[in-house]
Every structure is written in structure tokens, then in C-alpha cells.
Amino acid sequence: MKTIHDINFENKKALIRVDFNVPLDENGKITDTTRIVAAKPTIIKILEDGGAAILMSHLGRPKAQEDEFSLVQICSAISEIIGVEVNFVDNCVGERVEQAAADLEMGKILLLENLRFHKEETAGDSAFAKALSQLGDIYVNDAFGTAHRAHASTTVVAQYFNAESKCFGALLAKEIESLDRVLNNSEKPVLAILGGSKVSSKITVIENILDKVDEMIIGGGMSFTFIKAQGGKVGDSICEDDKQELALEILKKAEEKGVKIHIPVDVVAADDFANDANTKVMDITAIEDGWQGLDAGPKSRENFDTVVQRAKTILWNGPLGVFEMETFSKGTIALGNSIAAATKNGAFSLVGGGDSVAAVKQFGFEHKVSYVSTGGGAMLEMLEGKTLPGIAAIKE
């Protein structure tokens, strides 16, 4: 795997695909700078070598050239985080951009305008990718969040650089290594914790990782589909009735492979989907009508802690309850504490997928786990066993 550490960027202009698709408030201020901070090591390495950095990214899903999606509004924040002034050009291809790239001095940074202002970006257009490629000497892909998309800037552009002049950035390399460590080079026992509301969105992940894990916790809303499939009563809890057969198949496959599956035994049930609803703890197999399970109960939290403490490799994808509401956040917080303790005792823990990452940040576990992945969809596809086009393009 060729990374930025295998290349000397002295007197070279690096064209870097970053993922600066950051959340903005109504005033255009960034509410979470994680993705920019994560790209900093790659940019700094290039500048310290004596090279220059040309950054390209998308922001949001613009339908045309809309000001609310312009990268100019995050330019000063990038300068502040990187510690180097960032120059901006209001397009990403064309004569003006080519001139700005040509004039860029070593040690400096140039940020291009939103790639998705051109429909050719998401279409994976070759001419557009070629125009981008002419801006730099070396192509660096450091955008894990978009590595599963065969877009012009993430995949197609790589074909215009030879093997010696394209590589992975520090962030993307760390993502690949961390996932590889869980899936292929893990210390046993390996535990996967899958939460979230739907079995359907995690089927391929479950099927692919059954061969790689020793134990699996299935929590959150999707646990009710498994409980109902086995004859339990789930009240008004979220449940995919059409996936019950599949749930039973998964349990059977796990048994055949010797994988222990753990499902909550009790839940915090509520009479309404609201933070101030009436709540009581119920057996997960006997939830009363008019009540819905919205969090893992105290006994389940204890059971899960025991499972987590014996694991040496932990993958966490998806919360155990509706953690956005304080009343139903206890199960997810308890799980975070369990994983933090196991990590402190030497386990390798990888957290990924939008909701679990949000939970980890919200409850302060970010620096208490081994690695927090920056890409939701990309991580899920890697867990499904797919080859991501953005990764394959660098390796080719």
C-alpha cells in the first residue's frame, strides 16, 4: 500500500482529494471540524517536504452553483486548523484554475471550489477527471468518506497518474489498516457489536463478518426482529416483519460457524416515542401492547459488559437505543464505557457508522477507543467485503 510516507514531495504539487463535506449552521459556520483536523497530517507532511497542496472536495449535494455550498465559506477555518493560509479559486477546472495552480508556490495551499458544482464529478466523467489531473504532479486520495464512490475526483482521476505518482493520504491509509486489522489480522476473541434500527441495512455486513468474529452483539431496534422471529412479543417496538425468516437464518448460520450471538434480554420500554414518555423495564420477549423498547435494559448492559471485557478486537457499528433522547441513552453510554475499559486493558476497538460516531463524540468516548472511522457508507461497504473503487484506483 503506497502512502504519502513513501514519497518525497519536494518541489512537487500534490493534488489531494480531501473530504471537507462538513456540517454548517445557518450562518455558514462549521459545527464539526473533525474531517478537516483528520486531513491535517497529510497536508503538513507535503508542505514540510517542500511541496505544495492543491485541495479538492465536495460539500453537500448542490443542484447548481449555489452559494450555500461554496467552499469559500470554510476557507478561513481550514487556514486556522492547518496553521497555513489557504488560497481559494472559485472553480475546480478551467484556465483560471490552471493559472492559480501554476502560480502556487511551494509551501502554500490552494483550495478549489466545490467539485459537485460540475455534474461531471458524480458522473465520473473522464474529460473532467483529466482536467483535474493536470493541476498536480502527484495524486493523493485522503477521502475515505467518498472512497466507495466511482466519481471523477476519487477514482477516475487516478488513471492519469502512474504508479509512482499516486498514493493514499495518512487518513485513508489509517482507515484501511484499522479495518484490515479487524477483518483480517485481528487478535482473538473478535467481537462485533451491531446496533441501529434495521436488520435490512446490515444483512450483508452480518453475513460477511460471521466468518471473522467469535461473538456478536445485536442490539438497538434490529434486535426486535430477532426476538419476534423466535416467538417473543415486542409490543409496538420497531420490527421488520418481512425479515423474520432472515433473522432465523442468521442465527442458524452463526450457530453452524460457532459464533455466539448476544441479544438484549430486557429493555427500557416507553408508552410514547418521546423523551418525557412513561417508562418501565420489561423482558424483551414480553413487551406489552402500547409499549415500545427504546433502549437496552440494565441486565442487558451487564451482560454486554461481560462480553466486551473478554474481547481483544472490537468493532462497534450502531447504537443500542435512541441515544439522541437522554432518557434512552443509558444503554449506548454503558456500552461506550465498557468498550473504553476494554481498550484501556489492551483491546483494539474500532467505531464506525454515522450514529455510533455521533454517539461516541456526544458522550466523550472519542479518545477512549482505538480508532473512530470517518466514513459511514464506505466503512459499511468494506465490512460487506466490497472493494472500494477509490482504494482500487490507487492500487492499480
Query: Exposure string (b/e) for 367-376, b if CB count within 10 Å is 16 or more?
Result: ebbbbbbbbb
More confidently predicted of 101 and 208: 101
Map grid coordinates 463524540 to a residue: 361
Catalytic residue among 13, 35, 45, 228: 35
Annotated binding-site positions: 19-21, 35, 58-61, 116, 149, 202, 293, 324, 353-356
| CA 174 to chain centroid | 12
Q: What is the mean pLDDT of residues 12-32?
A: 94
Q: What pLDDT score was predicted for residue 132?
A: 98
The per-residue pLDDT for range 220-247, each reduced to its tens digit, is 999 999 999 999 999 999 999 999 999 9
Say whether 35 is catalytic.
yes
The winner for highest mean pLDDT among 42-56, 180-194, 355-369 is 42-56
| pLDDT band for position 384 (cuts 50, 70, 90) | confident
Tell me, yes or no, if 220 is annotated catalytic: no
Task: Please tell me the predicted confidence (pLDDT) of residue 354.
Answer: 64
Query: Is residue 145 over pLDDT 90?
Result: no
Choose, from 2, 198, 260, 312, the residue flagged as catalytic.
198
Quote the mean pLDDT of the chain. 95
Measured over the CA atoms of residue 176, residue 178, residue 181 and residue 183, the dihedral's sign is: negative
Over range 259-283, report the average pLDDT.
98
**Residue 350: its pLDDT value, please?**
95
Q: Using pLDDT thresholds of 50, 70 and 90, give the confidence band for residue 49.
A: very high
Mean pLDDT of 115-136: 98
- pLDDT category of residue 358 using cuts at 50, 70 and 90: confident
Cα–Cα distance measured from residue 226 to residue 122, given in angstroms and rounded to the nearest whole number: 38
Rounded Cα distance between 318 and 337, Å, is 15
State phi, psi for 49 to the nearest 5 degrees: -70, -20
pLDDT(200) > 90: no
Decide if 321 is catalytic.
Answer: no
Percent of the chain whose pLDDT exceeds 70: 100
The winner for highest mean pLDDT among 178-187, 275-284, 351-360 is 275-284
What is the per-residue pLDDT for 55?
98
User: What's the confidence (pLDDT) of residue 112?
Assistant: 98
Ordered domains of the chain (ranges, CATH): 4-173 (3.40.50.1260), 186-383 (3.40.50.1260)
Q: What value does the mean pLDDT take over residues 147-171?
A: 96
Mean pLDDT of 24-50: 94
Mean pLDDT of 116-137: 98
| Binding site feature residues for substrate | 19-21, 35, 58-61, 116, 149
pLDDT at 199 over 70: yes
Q: Say what the pLDDT of residue 321 is.
A: 95
Output the CA–CA distances (angstroms, integers) from residue 24 to 27, 60, 112, in the order listed.
8, 10, 18
Mark the binding-site residues for (2R)-3-phosphoglycerate, compressed into ranges.
35, 116, 149
Q: What secondary structure, in 3-state letters, does the chain show?
A: CCEHHHCCCCCCEEEEECCCCCCECCCCCECCCHHHHHHHHHHHHHHHHCCEEEEECCCCCCCCCCHHHCHHHHHHHHHHHHCCCEEEECCCCCHHHHHHHHHCCCCCEEEECCHHHCHHHHHCCHHHHHHHHCCCCEEEECCHHHCCCCCCCCCHHHHHCCHHHEEECHHHHHHHHHHHHHHCCCCCCEEEEECCCCCCCCHHHHHHHCCCCCEEEECHHHHHHHHHHCCCEECCCCCCHHHHHHHHHHHHHHHHHCCEEECCCEEEEECCCCCCCCEEEEECCEECCCCEEEEECHHHHHHHHHHHHCCCEEEEECCCCCCCCHHHCHHHHHHHHHHHHHHHCCCEEEECCHHHHHHHHHCCCCCCCCEECCCHHHHHHHHCCCCCHHHHHHHC
Among 107, 232, 354, 385, the one annotated catalytic: 354
Query: What is the torsional sign of CA 77, 78, 80, 86?
Result: negative
